[in-house]
Amino acid sequence: MNGFRQRLQQGEVLLGQMVLELFTPGIGPMLAACDLDFVIFDMEHGRCDIGLLAEMIASCRGSDIVPLARVPDVEFAPLSRALDLGARGVMVPRVETRQQAEKIVSQLRYTPQGKRGVALGVAHDLYRAGTPEFFAKANEETAVILLLETEKAFENLDEIISVPGVDVAWMGHYDLTVSMGIPAQFNHPRFLGAMDALVATCRRYGVAPGFLPATPEAAVHWIGKGFRAISLGSDIGVFLDAVRKFRAYVAQRGGAA
């Protein structure tokens, strides 16, 4: 399988990108060619539905990129549908309680760790039904990623992150600041305190903190603070930034209007 979860458990820093717009079959292999470790296909805020997700995951085969799915909501059912399509992990938004976290883990793990439904000989096992050992290996390889993005989630931080089977606790920074009444104030002491609390709690339970910094400088800063699953911006942000810099350079030196 892919080693994504194991690498995080070993303390590695893994780099990827969140895709919200550029759902072309080349996007996964392109990110792999940039030496990224994972790609998150966003079904919550991006234009990705279940059919497009299946195509995007299939397009990653043959490359080293690990496809992950950000589902639309905590009530998206069944969560394991994204796994059956071949996603190697699922990111679930707006997780606020231990009970939700336990239910998510249960849906994404086969028995005895959970209650994931069984469908073999489909996309996730490349249409070749596995041996009895498949189930334990699938449990070991499947990443459970929880998006924590409200004040309530951070009030319950210890209870949520301590749930066995949680692999990544991802900071939902915009939503959290809105929930706190300090929208987009990412230098506010309360937000910075929440970032520190997330890292500290993750360290206690062997969970990887995740984040989407907007700039290379911010990425380096937050890796230094302990974040280990990092989205290098989003496809939209990186594309727009690159085109603007390209155009500005040409306009300045080439005389374009």
CATH of the domain at 45: 3.20.20.60
106/90 Cα distance (integer angstroms) = 12
Within 8 A by CB and 6+ apart from 76, the residues are 43, 92
pTM for this entry: 0.95
Rounded Cα distance between 168 and 206, Å, is 9
Rounded-to-5 percentages of helix, strand, coil across the chain:
45, 15, 40
Q: What is the mean pLDDT of the chain?
A: 95
Beta-bridge partners for 183: none
Q: Which residues pair with 231 in a beta bridge?
A: 16
Mean pLDDT for the stretch of residues 61-73: 95
Percent of the chain with pLDDT over 90: 89
Whole-angstrom CA distances from 232 to 18, 32, 241 are 8, 13, 12
Sign of the alpha-carbon dihedral angle for 138, 119, 81, 123: positive
- Name the band, by pLDDT with cuts 50, 70 and 90, for residue 255: confident
**Are 151 and 157 within 8 A, CB to CB?**
no
Taking residue 123's Cβ as centre, other Cβ atoms within 10 Å add up to: 16
Separation CA 150–CA 82 (nearest Å): 25
Mean pLDDT of 169-177: 98
Radius of gyration of the chain (CA): 19
Range of the domain at 149: 4-254
Range name among 14-23, 120-129, 201-210 with the lowest pLDDT average: 120-129
Structural domain total, the chain: 1
| Rounded CA separation 133/131 (Å) | 5
Query: How many residues are recorded in the chain?
Result: 257
Residues 184-235: pLDDT tens digits? Answer: 999 999 999 999 999 999 999 999 999 999 999 999 999 999 999 999 999 9
Whole-Å CA distances, 6 to 3, 10, 13, 230: 5, 6, 12, 16
Rounded Cα–Cα distance for residues 194 and 172 (Å): 11
* Distance (Å, whole) CA 144 – CA 162: 13
* Distance, first Cα to last Cα, the chain: 51
Q: Which of 171, 202, 172, 197 is nearest to 9 (CA)?
A: 202
- Report the SS3 class of residue 185: coil
Are 168 and 8 a contacting pair, CB within 8 Å?
Answer: yes
